[in-house]
Structure 1
Amino acid sequence: MSDELSAIRLTDPRALRAYAHPTRMALVGLLRLHGPLTATRAAELLGTESVASCSFHLRQLAKYGLVEEAGGGRGREKPWRATAAFTSWDASPADPEQAAATEALQRAVLDGYLARATDWLLHRGADGAEWREAAGFGDTAVLVTAAELAELDARVEELLRPYVERLTAPGPRPEGARTVQLVRLALPTDRPATDRPAGEAP
């Protein structure tokens, strides 16, 4: 996004594997969205984990620089904060151990997207008609080179930037605004030529 929105890049396979835990990803997301939280408050917001579990996972995240103590409090009542607004990693590392850890993390991220989409479908009836119409998912096939796809992704990020910056900007928010997770999947629908059986058309 912008220079003002910090990011942490994971390269250590141990850090990649640590972050791949769904509870840890959820905790980092909560800290980024709500600011500093205690393990007790984090457990309340998650609704699926105990205070002891959240405290343990926060300490594990701190080992790899993803969260840090925000100061004040004691024990499980000390607040934690995220160290960056975004997490990134190399999508195609050369190191085999890092590549395996990256694949596990990407699978965990994708599983999380599916779980949140399924939860939305189950509870969308409680939303008003305006939100049911505005929210949803779909797909569009495009014919692009790898460079064009990277450029398209950058343009989408630029379009999203002012809405992302609202999350941490001081002052009032637009009336009726809600936090929405916009998921982007850019997935080739054909296999590379080297993966196709001989004689098979692209």
Structure 2
Amino acid sequence: MSEPPPAVRLTDPRALRAYAHPTRMALVGLLRVHGPLTATRAAELLGTESVASCSFHLRQLAKYGLVEEAGGGRGREKPWQATAAFTSWDSSPADPEQAAAVDTLQRAVLDGYFARATAWLAHRAEETPQWREAAGFGDTLVHVTAAELLELQARIEELTRPYRERRPAGGEPPEGTRPVQLIQLAVPTDVRP
């Protein structure tokens, strides 16, 4: 079995709050998918941000070790790259300031998931029948202990590993494939809003 991809682990509340910005999460995502990008190219791919905005957000991400200069270029034309394939954080820190920052970040991540699912629904009719059939969402109710839930999540992670490893770093994805985000939510349902 190959080594898991490197991850950046955020513990500083300032870093957690900085990463919680939707544009910054989108930029890190672009760099992870497309490899090194300039602020100009990132702005083109996002379609919602100016070059100046992307440049600013890339510099902020660099302060917290999420991106770095890839070498070459100057100013807004210098390429940036993600420092790791994944970002992680403690989901239940004891420190109150860190816990509040984690809550902010997790809400931002959830908002991003919702936005991508909503965008899929809005454009679903434009997709081929094969993709309309393959994509979707649903849920399964299981009764598990906390330890069993951790085990289940680890097993799901292991199932997806071969698909994550199909694309070498900076290489082209296999022909006929598209990026698909598998969103995993494992939350108790006996908690009332």
With normalisation by structure 2, the TM-score equals: 0.95
Alignment of 1:167-186 (within 5 A): 167-168=167-168, 173-186=173-186
TM-score, normalised on structure 1?
0.91
The equivalent residue for 2:135 is 135
**Equivalent residues of 1:36, 1:81 under 8 A apart:** yes
Q: Is the 8 A contact 1:33 1:167 kept in 2?
A: no
Residue type of the partner of 1:144?
V
Unaligned runs of 5+ in 1: 196-202
| SS in structure 2 at match of 1:58 | helix
Structure 2 distance, partners of 1:168, 1:148, is 32
Counterpart AA for 1:81 = Q
C-alpha contact 2:34 2:170 (8 A) present in aligned 1? no
Aligned-partner residue type, residue 60 of structure 1: Q
Partner Cα separation in structure 1 for residue 121 and residue 128 of structure 2: 14
* Percentage of pairs with the same residue: 80
The CA deviation at 1:14 is: 0.2
| 1:159 equivalent in structure 2 | 159
User: Cα 1:118–1:5, aligned 2, differ >3 Å: closer, same or farther?
Assistant: same
Q: How does 1:40-189 map to 2 (within 5 A)?
A: 40-168=40-168, 173-189=173-189
CA separation of 1:33/1:188 partners in 2, compared to 1, >3 Å: closer, same or farther? same
**Structure 1 residues 58 and 170, CA, compared in 2 at 3 Å: closer, same or farther?**
closer
Question: Greater Rg, structure 1 or structure 2?
Answer: 1
d(CA) in 1 for partners of 2:173, 2:26: 24
Q: CA RMSD in A?
A: 1.6
Which residues of 2 match residues 1-40 of structure 1 at below 5 A? 3-40=3-40
Check conservation: 1:72, 1:79, Cα contact below 8 A: yes
